[in-house]
Structure 1
């Protein structure tokens, strides 16, 4: 059985849409980071996206665990022209598209960005590669809100609209077990 432990990176405190922008994580809550590290399997392999907020969070929880190379397929949603802008600003200039993006996710994309379906496809490719290369292992995957939701959607066979109802807090763990080809969601948004 392969076990995915999807960890959301430390907070950025940004009040805008943060996807591919490389904002740092606030890792000042050392007690929370210590609890998180202690909760995760000691023999797990640690990997993150290639953005600094996930890299720093992975470094903080790694301990003596083996580290794998960063994977750009595990990046957050690419918000394109909406990047680092807040909802109200975007709504003022493109209200129909931004509402459609969040209310009916799928093929709607931000200008010069990715649709939800494109994000899910990219992330699935990265996760499938990890599973194939490390079958039977505990994989501690430090990633982003959207990345975690793509895998919850996959495990639970939810629509994009249904999966967006889930909350994924910073420094939380969502665990999925994969036995043969059956995916089983163990817990979501667990705060150790």
Structure 2
């Protein structure tokens, strides 16, 4: 693929969960119809793809309008938090204090018990979007941060400092082909 292509990255609607929610399949609160309408109107007429988790699928349904829909992709799921699923930050810190610091302060190969590392997660997400041209990706905070890390060319610990709010829009451009092209973050956590 050559030229410029863009990924419009939409975070799903809020779940109101208080703990870590990775692969847990929770619904999204899509009651903010005004925000959803503004978001839908701001998106281009390109295909929509989403994670296969309900919160992303239903958010994609809400913004799809007349856009083409690509099959749900499980590679666009949030990070798998393993044994930390559903636990609060305090519960995770009490359970695995040293591992918690490794996973979030120096993300890379460390992983929650039974979960996946930042590096494995990032490889899965990159594989999911490789080969797509212009596309709207409805997914999760971690998915968006993983792709932004590539666009910002920064360490994982730095990208994890960015806020990606529910129903926000981030846009990255790829100049040239997928593997060798330059990436650029055009918007981060934007509300149209």
Per the normalisation by structure 1, the TM-score is: 0.94
* Structure 2 residues without counterparts, runs of 5 or longer: none
- The answer on 1:167 being equivalent to 2:137 is no
Deviations 1:80-121 (Å, cap 9, x if unpaired)?
Answer: 000011111121121111122111111110000001011001
- The answer on 1:34 being equivalent to 2:37 is yes
Q: CA deviation at 1:184?
A: 1.4
Corresponding residue of 2:108: 106
Deviations 1:40-93 (Å, cap 9, x if unpaired)?
Answer: 01x211010000000000000000011000001111000000001111112112
| Alpha-carbon distance in structure 2 between the residues aligned to 1:169 and 1:44 | 23
1:1-192 equivalences in 2 (<5 Å): 1-41=4-44, 43-129=45-131, 131=132, 135=133, 138-180=134-176, 181-192=181-192
Q: CA deviation at 1:7?
A: 0.3
Moved beyond 2 Å, runs of 4+: none
* Structure 1 residues without counterparts, runs of 5 or longer: none
| Alpha-carbon distance in structure 1 between the residues aligned to 2:61 and 2:109 | 35
Per the normalisation by structure 2, the TM-score is: 0.94
Question: Could you say what the CA RMSD is over the residues aligned between the two structures, in angstroms?
Answer: 0.8
| Alpha-carbon distance in structure 2 between the residues aligned to 1:170 and 1:99 | 25
- Aligned residue pairs total 185
| Alpha-carbon distance in structure 2 between the residues aligned to 1:160 and 1:179 | 22
| Alpha-carbon distance in structure 2 between the residues aligned to 1:183 and 1:152 | 9
| Alpha-carbon distance in structure 2 between the residues aligned to 1:141 and 1:48 | 6
